[in-house]
Structure 1
Amino acid sequence: MKKHAVAPFAKKKRKRSCSISQFSDLKTLFALLLASLSNQPQTTLPVINKCLFKFHNSLLLSKSSVKPILALLPTLLSSSHSKIARAAANIIGAASLVSLEINEEIASDSQTVKRLISLLESSDRNVVFSACNAVLDLSITTFAQQQLLSFSALHRLMFVFLQIFKRLESVCLWSEGNESFQSLKIGFREDKLSSALLNTITVLINACDLKQLHNIPKSLSEAILSRLKEIRANASHNLLIKGAVKSNDEVHVCTSHIGVSVLAESIFRLSIYASQLTVSLPFEVVQRGLFGTSDTSFEDFMSNYWEVSPFLLTRTLEDLKVNDIFNTFIQSLNWNGSVPSLLHSTLQGLVSCFPIASEEQNILNFLNEVKDRLGCPIIYQQDIRVVKTESQSRKETHYFQDFHPDCLKEPLYLTTEDVLKCEQAYKEGYTVALRGLEFRYPSIAAIADTLALMFGQPSVGANLYLTPPNSQGLARHFDDHCVFVCQIFGSKKWTVYSRPGQLLPRLYGNLCGSDVDCTKAGRSEFFLREGDVLYIPRGFPHEACTNYGVNDGSPGFSLHLTLSIEVEPPFEWEGVVHFALHCWSENWKRPCCDAINSLSQKLVLVSVDLLHVAIGIISTSDPSFRKACLTAAVSLPGDVYNKLIQNQRKTFFDLIDKIRNECKFSEVLSNVEVAIQKNKDPFEQIRWLWVLSMKNEANNGYTDKSFIIEDLCSLCAKHKDKLESAFLKVKSRFCSEVVFDDIVTSNMILLQKYKKTRRQYINGMLSLHDKL
C-alpha cells in the first residue's frame, strides 16, 4: 500500500523534470524549427509539428519562452499545411493569455494579425476553429480588440458564421450555476465551431464604438442581426430562468461564455444603425385618430385644451373602420375573447426596458450601465405593476406581496409562474399595468414618434392597463405629463378633478403629494367606450373604474392604452429661455477664454449664471414658464405650424419682458446665499444644461460649479457693486439682443440631439422583443 501511494507522486515529478529539460534547450529547438522551415516542408513536417507542440507546452511554464517564436508566426500562419497553421494559431491563443505585454506585442504585429484573420476563410473547419479560438483569446485586451476591428476581423467572422451556422434547433440554454439570469448561457448541441464563432463575434461587436458599428456593411450587419435574433428566439422559451440545461446533464452541448445579456447587447448594438425599425405615421393619420376628422380639429385642440382642460373625442363604429390608428397593435394582441390568453400572449417573453437618462447623448453610456442585465425578464414596478384600489381605503395594494417600494433591495423578476399569477390577480380584481409599449411594439412606437414630433418633444411614452369588471386600479392621482387615454376594449368611467394650482407639475418632479384632497374641487365625468380618446393635462387629479352595474351591453372589463406627452425640462419655456441665454452667452465667452481670470470677465461669466438663477426664481411662480414650447413641432403642416409659431413668438417675448422687469439682483443673491448655507446646489434646475454644454466648454476651464460658487462668494465680498452692475448689463443685453428665429433653430437642433439617442434606444429595445 505504501509503494502504491508514493509511485504516482514520483511519476509526476519525473514528468515535470523532463518538461523543464526541454524548456532549457529552447534555443536549440528554435534553431531546429528554423532549419526545418527552410527545407522542403513536406519532408520536415513531422519535425516542425513536434517543435511547435513543444513550444506550445513551454508557454505553460514561462512567458519568456514566447519571444523566440513570435517572429515566425506570420510564416507559420501562411503555411499551406493545415497542421502547421493550426499549431501556430494555438500558440497565438496560448501566448495571448500569458501576459498583457505579450498580448499587446502579438496584437501590434499587423502581419500576424492579418494572417490569423485570413485563416478564418480556410476550407478546413479545424483550422477555422483554431483561428477563431486564437482571435477570442487575443481579444482579452482592449488594445487587441481594437487591432482586430481595424483589420476587419469582425466582418470576416460574421461572413464565416453566416456560411457555417445552419441548425437553429441546435441552440439551447445552459447553466453552470444557480440558474439565475446572470448564469444563463447560450449553448450549441454538437456544434463547437458555431459556438466559438458566435462567442468571438459577440465579444467584438460589444467592443465596437458607434463609428465602428456604423461602418459594418449594412447587408452584413442586417444579416447577422437577423440570425442573432433567431438564435435568441430559439432559446427564449427558457429565458425566464426555467428549464436551462445543466452543463453536466447533456454532454453533447458545446458550452460557451455567451451570456443571455451578452447576446442581447450585441443585438441592441447592431440595431442602433439598422434600417428604421419603425416609421413615423403621417400627421393626418394621427390627427384623425386622436383629435377627430375636422380639418381644424388639431388647431382647435391646441387653442382650447392643450395644457388647459380635459378633452374627449367620442368615436363611432364608422370612424373606427376608417381611422383606427391602433388596428395593427390590436391584431398583434391575438385577441380571441379570453382575458387569460390576452394576458399570457402580452406578457410572455417580454424583457425589461431599463430607463435611460433624459440628457444622455451617447447610447453606449447606457449600455455600459445595464450590460449585465440587458435582456432580463420584466421587473416589477419598473416594467409592470399589479394593483387595485379599494373604495373604502382609497389606497393602492399590490398583488405581489414581496414588493415593498421602500425596502426592495433586489429586482423582482417576473417568471413564467408569475405571469400565471397575474391571471389569478386579474380574477381577484387587480389591474395589470404594463409600461413601455413604445419599446415593445413597432406599431405603438410609430404612433408615439409621430405624436412626439407633432408636439416638438423628444419622446412619448405608452402604457397598457387591463382592469377587470367592477374594479379600480390606480388610486386618484395626477401626472407630471399630459395623457391621451385610448380605449381599446371594453369601457371605463373616468373622473377628472380641477387642477389644485396654476403651476403645471414638472417632469421628474416630486409627486408624493399627488393624491390631493378633491372633495371641494370641481369634477367632470367621462365614460369611455371602445375607440374613444380622453385627453388629461398634467396636474389634473383623476381616477377611473370599470362598469359598476351600468347596463349598456359592455363586457365590464377595460383595456386601455395611454400615450404620455413628456415635456422635458429643456423643452418647457423656462428651459428654452435658459438655452437661449446659454447660446447668447457663448458669444461673450469665446473671446475671453484666455482672459478668464480677469476681473471684468469673471463678473460677466458669474452674472450669466446669476441670470440663470433669476429665471428659475420667476418660473417657480409664473405658470407661463412651465408650459411646453412647441417651436420644434416641425412635422406639422405648413399652415398649421405658421399659426402655431405666431403664438409661440408672442409667448417668448412676453417671457423676455418678464425677465427684463422682474429679475432683481438682490433677490437672486439672497436665493444663492440661502442655497449655499443649506448646502444645496443653486444651479440644480439647469443641471441638464451643464451636462449638455460640458463637452463644448471642456477647454475653457470654467465648467465646475464649485469654482463658480467660489468666485461668486469672492466677488460678492470684494466687488458686490461691480457684480450688480455687470448683472444688470448682462440682463439688459440679453433681453435686447436675443433673436426668436435663432431660438427656433437652436431648439430644433437640441431636439434632434435628444431624439437621436432615444431612437437608438427604441431600435435596440424593439429588436430585443422582435421574434419573441
Structure 2
Amino acid sequence: MKKRKRRGGNGDEASPSSAAFDRRIFPILLAAAAAGRSTRRTESTVARLLRRALSCSRPSLHPLPDSLLALLPLLLTSSSASVAALSCEVLGAAALQSMEASEALASDAAIADGLARALRLRSGSQRVAEAACNAIMDLSASSVGREHLAGSAVEFIYGVIDIRSTECSKSASKANKSFYLMVDTLVLMVNSCQVDSLHNLQQDVVRKVLPLLHKFWKNVDTLGSSTDCVSSKNHLQSREHEISEAIFRLSMNIACPAHLEPDEVRRSISGQLVSDYENFLLNYWEKSTYLLTRKQKNLDVDSVFTSLLNEFDSRTPDTVIQSLVNGIVSCPAIASDELDISSFLNEVQGSLGAAVKYKQDIRVVRTNDQCDQTSRGYGMEEHFFDDGMTFQDADAFIEKCKDAFKNGFSVALRGMEFRSENIAAIASAVADLFGQPSVGANIYFSPPRSQGLARHYDDHCVLVWQLLGCKKWMIWPDTKLLLPRLYEPFESLDDLVDESGGRMEVLLEGDIMYVPRGFVHEAHTDVDVGGFEVNSTSDCSLHLTLAIEVEPPFEWEGFTHIALHCWMEKRWSSLLVKSHDEEQTSLFALLLHVAIRLLSKNDATFRKACMVAAKLTPSSSCTTTHLKVLRSNQRSIFDEIIKKIDKSCNFKDALMCIELAVKEKNDEPFQWMCWLRHLPQHEGTNGKVDFCNILGALEELLEAVSCNLEQALTEFTDFKSKFCRSEVYEDACESFQMLLQMYRTTRNQYTRGMLALHRKHEI
C-alpha cells in the first residue's frame, strides 16, 4: 500500500469501494482480529487503516461493508487499546451518517455485545472508555436504537461502573469530560433497560454507583455551568429528571435497610399479648374506635415509637418543619391496580424527582370554626397555597411553611412511607399484619389552639399515633353501618353526624387510636396554653396516621369473586365440562359475578377486609392458639357469605343491570371488574372474558338468556347452587395470596424507588 501511494495511486485504500475493501483491507483486519496475540506491527497497520477511514470529512466506510460489520465485534474487543478505541469511533461515525444507519447498527446484537465487552474488557483505558461511550450515545440517538441496545444494557451498565474506578487524566477539563460522558452513558443505559433486566444487576454494585448519581443529581445545574467547561461536551448532558429516573430504576430492587417484623408492630399498636390483638380484631376492627394509652416510661423501650420520633428534630416548631419538608420531592400517584412498574414509568416520564405539588404531596391548612361557621355546624378549611402549586425554591417554601404555622396553619405531608425508610418499614409491617397490599402514612404538625383538617370521614381505616404534644379528637360512629369503599363518592356529613352522639378522646405522646372507615372525626389542639412560644414544641401536636386501605380485590366481596374464578378454573380443567359447554358456563359465571356485586352494595359483610393473608409470627403455643381462632373466624365469615349468595343472589336484578348497560352502551358500572384480569385463566378456554372490555361479553350474555328466560333462570340457579356447595376456600386463599403478592411487588418497587430519591445519606 505504501508502494502504491508512492507510485501515485488513486487513494483507493483511503476511500475504498466495498469490493476494494474486501480485497485490500479485509485480510489485514481479519488477521488482526483472528490472532490470539496480534503483533505490534499488525496492530499499527490496522490502527492506521481505521484512522484513514475516519480522516475524511465524510467517513470513507459508508455504508460499512458487510465484511467489516462481521469483523467489528472482534475488533471492538481487541487487546490493542488503539484498535478497540478506533473501532468504536468507526462505529460511531457510521451511526452518525443517518438515522437508518444508526438503527441498523444498533439492531446488530453482535455489535452491541462487542461494544459492551469493549467497555468491560478495556475499563482501564480512558481512551477506549470515551470512544465506547460516545459510540453508545451515537447509536442511541433514536428510540429504536435505544430499544435495540437495551438487550445489552446490563453489560453496558457494568462496563461504565467498572470505569468509574479508573484514574482520570491529569488535565481537569479532560477528566471532567470523560467522567461526565461515563455518567451520561450510565443514565442513558439504565433508563433504556427493560425493568426486568435490572433484576440481574448485583445489589452491591448498584449500591456503589447510587451515591455517585445522587451527587450529580443534586448538583446538575452547577455542573452544567461549571467554569471549567470549555465546550458543550465538557459537562453533563443528562437532564435532572433523567438522572432521577435512573436512581429510581436502579433502586427498585434494592432491599431497604430498615425492616420490621409484623409481630414487632403488633406489640406497639395493640399491646404485648397476642390476645390483645385478637380482641382488637374480633371486637373493634371495622366496628368501633379503639384507644391504646401508653405510659411515658414504656415509650423508652418501644423501638418502633423511638424510630418514629427520631425522624424529626423536635427542638422547636421551625426545626420540626425543616426536618419534615427539607429535601422532599413529589410522589406522583400510581394506579392502585397497576401491576407493571414499566407502565407507571412510561406515564411519569420526565417528571420523577420533580418539586412537591400542593395537595398532591402537601397541604398547609387550617379550619376556622369561628368566622366561617356554616349552617351545617362545622368549620371550613382554608388553604395557605393554591391547588396544584409547585415549589421550585425549596428554601423559600420551607420559610413560607414556617410562617403559615405561626399563623395557625397545620402542615400535612402525605406519602411518608415513600420519604422515610423507618416509616416505610412500619407501614410495610402493618400491611403484613392486616394482610393488605400497602399502608399509607401521613404526618400532621399543628400549632396550639388550632384545627387542621375540617370534620370528615375516610374511606380507609386509620391508626393515629401521637408523637409529640397532645390532641383532642371528636369521633362520631358510622350511623349507616355500611363501610365506605375506596374510590366511591363521599356523602354529605349532614345525615351522618348526631352532635349528641360524639365521643371525645385526648391522645398524649405515645398513644395510638384506631378509627374505622366511615367514622366522622375532627381533631383540635385547643388546650389553653397562653402565649405561643416559638421556641417550644410542648404545646404543638405532631401525629402520624397509618391508612389501611382495603383495595377491591381484598374485601370479602373480592375474595368471593376469586373463589368463583377458582371454581370455574377447576371445572374447565376437569372432564366435567365439555368444550361446547364452556361458553355458556362462562356466561353464567359472569352473571353470578354481577349478582354478587349487587348483593354487596347493601351488605356490610361483603365490604369488610378479608384477612386470610394476615401475618402473625407464631412464637409460642399460645400464639398458635390465637392464630387458629383468627383463621377460624375468617373461614366462618366466608361460610356466612356463601349462604347469603345461595339465598339472595338475584338473577333478575343482575339481568336488569346488564340490560341497562347494554342498552346505553355504558360499561362504566362494570369497571370494578377490571382487576379480575389479573387472575390466571385456563389455557385454551373458549369462554374467556375480557374484563377490561366487558360490554361485548355482556351483550353475548343477554342474547344467550333472553330467548328463554325461564330456562336460563333454572340453569343459573343450578349453577349457583353447585358453586355454593363446592369446597373452594383453600384454593381461593392460595389465589388471594398470589394476587396480593403481585400487588405488593409493584408497590414495593415504587416505594424503594421513591425512598432512593429522598435518601439524604450515603447508600
Normalised TM-score (structure 1): 0.84
Quote the Cα distance in structure 1 between the aligned partners of 2:192 and 2:109: 19
In the alignment, which of 219, 222, 245 is matched to residue 235 of structure 1? 219
In the alignment, which of 178, 190, 193 is matched to residue 208 of structure 1? 193
Match of 2:398 in 1: 419
* 1:169-204 CA distance string (max 9 Å, x none): x9xxxxxxxxxxxxxxxxx99511121112222222
Task: Verify the 8 A CA contact 2:416 2:442 in the aligned structure 1.
Answer: yes
* 1:191-249 CA distance string (max 9 Å, x none): 111211122222222233344212223332332234334443x538x7xxxx7854899
Match of 2:210 in 1: 225
Q: 1:477-556, aligned counterparts within 5 Å?
A: 477-511=456-490, 513=492, 518-520=497-499, 522-549=501-528, 555-556=538-539
In the alignment, which of 689, 704, 712 is matched to residue 702 of structure 1? 689
Task: Verify the 8 A CA contact 2:443 2:543 in the aligned structure 1.
Answer: yes
Task: Verify the 8 A CA contact 2:307 2:422 in the aligned structure 1.
Answer: yes
Match of 2:367 in 1: 389
Quote the Cα distance in structure 2 between the aligned partners of 1:207 and 1:49: 30
Aligned-partner residue type, residue 656 of structure 1: I
Quote the Cα distance in structure 1 between the aligned partners of 2:598 and 2:344: 33
Match of 1:197 in 2: 182
1:567 match: secondary structure: coil
Q: 1:146-225, aligned counterparts within 5 Å?
A: 146-149=150-153, 152-163=155-166, 191-225=176-210
Instruction: Report how far residue 748 of structure 1 moved.
Output: 2.2
Instruction: Report how far residue 85 of structure 1 moved.
Output: 3.5
Quote the Cα distance in structure 2 between the aligned partners of 1:619 and 1:197: 58
Match of 1:318 in 2: 297
Match of 1:572 in 2: 555
Task: Verify the 8 A CA contact 1:580 1:738 in the aligned structure 2.
Answer: no
Instruction: Report how far residue 481 of structure 1 moved.
Output: 0.7
Quote the Cα distance in structure 2 between the aligned partners of 1:213 and 1:378: 28
1:634 match: secondary structure: coil
Normalised TM-score (structure 2): 0.85
Distance 1:522-1:111 versus aligned 2 partners, 3 A rule: closer
Quote the Cα distance in structure 1 between the aligned partners of 2:443 and 2:485: 23
Quote the Cα distance in structure 1 between the aligned partners of 2:414 and 2:684: 38
Distance 1:289-1:189 versus aligned 2 partners, 3 A rule: farther
Distance 1:124-1:491 versus aligned 2 partners, 3 A rule: same
Instruction: Report how far residue 52 of structure 1 moved.
Output: 1.8
Match of 1:328 in 2: 307
Match of 1:138 in 2: 139
Instruction: Report how far residue 512 of structure 1 moved.
Output: 5.4
Matched, 1:624 2:625: no
- Root-mean-square deviation (Å): 3.5
Quote the Cα distance in structure 1 between the aligned partners of 2:237 and 2:712: 62
In the alignment, which of 284, 288, 299 is matched to residue 267 of structure 2? 288
Aligned-partner residue type, residue 565 of structure 1: I
Task: Verify the 8 A CA contact 2:679 2:739 in the aligned structure 1.
Answer: no
Distance 1:333-1:85 versus aligned 2 partners, 3 A rule: same
Quote the Cα distance in structure 1 between the aligned partners of 2:50 and 2:62: 21
Matched, 1:649 2:635: yes
Match of 1:563 in 2: 546
* 1:245-304 CA distance string (max 9 Å, x none): 548995478333322222222222222222344322351x32332123445221221122
Quote the Cα distance in structure 1 between the aligned partners of 2:82 and 2:287: 78
Task: Verify the 8 A CA contact 1:592 1:601 in the aligned structure 2.
Answer: no
Quote the Cα distance in structure 1 between the aligned partners of 2:648 and 2:760: 57
Quote the Cα distance in structure 2 between the aligned partners of 1:521 and 1:365: 49
Task: Verify the 8 A CA contact 1:74 1:112 in the aligned structure 2.
Answer: yes
Distance 1:603-1:251 versus aligned 2 partners, 3 A rule: same
Match of 1:733 in 2: 722
Distance 1:721-1:161 versus aligned 2 partners, 3 A rule: farther
Instruction: Report how far residue 542 of structure 1 moved.
Output: 0.3
Distance 1:166-1:644 versus aligned 2 partners, 3 A rule: farther
Q: 1:22-171, aligned counterparts within 5 Å?
A: 33-34=25-26, 40-41=41-42, 44=45, 48=49, 50-54=51-55, 57-58=58-59, 64=63, 69-74=68-73, 76-77=75-76, 82-99=81-98, 101-107=100-106, 112-120=111-119, 121-122=121-122, 123-140=124-141, 141-149=145-153, 152-163=155-166
- May I ask how many residue pairs the two structures share in their alignment? 717
Greater displacement, 130-139 / 108-117 = 108-117
Q: Which consecutive residues of structure 1, in runs of 5 or more, have no partner in the other structure?
A: 1-17, 171-187
Match of 1:10 in 2: none
Quote the Cα distance in structure 1 between the aligned partners of 2:53 and 2:77: 15
* 1:549-593 CA distance string (max 9 Å, x none): 168999321111101111111111111111111111122345699
Task: Verify the 8 A CA contact 2:330 2:356 in the aligned structure 1.
Answer: yes
* 1:86-123 CA distance string (max 9 Å, x none): 33211211222434553354345565445433432434
Aligned-partner residue type, residue 136 of structure 1: M
Quote the Cα distance in structure 1 between the aligned partners of 2:427 and 2:380: 31
2:318 match: secondary structure: helix
Instruction: Report how far residue 497 of structure 1 moved.
Output: 1.0
Match of 2:240 in 1: 260
Quote the Cα distance in structure 2 between the aligned partners of 1:228 and 1:421: 30
Distance 1:610-1:742 versus aligned 2 partners, 3 A rule: same
Greater displacement, 753-762 / 644-653 = 753-762
* 1:116-150 CA distance string (max 9 Å, x none): 33432434312221122112322341453144347
Distance 1:229-1:708 versus aligned 2 partners, 3 A rule: same
Instruction: Report how far residue 153 of structure 1 moved.
Output: 3.0
Greater displacement, 94-103 / 366-375 = 94-103
Distance 1:213-1:675 versus aligned 2 partners, 3 A rule: same
Match of 1:349 in 2: 327
Task: Verify the 8 A CA contact 2:572 2:685 in the aligned structure 1.
Answer: no
Match of 1:610 in 2: 591
Match of 1:178 in 2: none
Greater displacement, 265-274 / 537-546 = 265-274
Q: 1:361-510, aligned counterparts within 5 Å?
A: 361-392=339-370, 393=372, 394-400=379-385, 402-403=386-387, 415-510=394-489
1:423 match: secondary structure: helix
Instruction: Report how far residue 636 of structure 1 moved.
Output: 4.6
Matched, 1:721 2:710: yes
* 1:59-106 CA distance string (max 9 Å, x none): 7xx954666753553565455654444332112112224345533543
Instruction: Report how far residue 348 of structure 1 moved.
Output: 1.2
Task: Verify the 8 A CA contact 2:76 2:87 in the aligned structure 1.
Answer: yes
Quote the Cα distance in structure 2 between the aligned partners of 1:165 and 1:661: 78
Quote the Cα distance in structure 2 between the aligned partners of 1:709 and 1:96: 53
Distance 1:756-1:666 versus aligned 2 partners, 3 A rule: same
Aligned-partner residue type, residue 760 of structure 1: Q
2:364 match: secondary structure: strand
Quote the Cα distance in structure 2 between the aligned partners of 1:743 and 1:521: 44
1:527 match: secondary structure: strand
Match of 1:180 in 2: none
Quote the Cα distance in structure 2 between the aligned partners of 1:166 and 1:487: 56
Quote the Cα distance in structure 2 between the aligned partners of 1:458 and 1:305: 21
1:556 match: secondary structure: coil
2:658 match: secondary structure: helix
Distance 1:35-1:357 versus aligned 2 partners, 3 A rule: closer
Quote the Cα distance in structure 2 between the aligned partners of 1:699 and 1:190: 62
1:98 match: secondary structure: coil
Distance 1:699-1:364 versus aligned 2 partners, 3 A rule: farther
2:310 match: secondary structure: helix
Match of 1:586 in 2: 569
Q: Which consecutive residues of structure 2, in runs of 5 or more, have no partner in the other structure?
A: 1-9, 33-40, 373-378, 619-623
In the alignment, which of 739, 745, 748 is matched to residue 750 of structure 1? 739
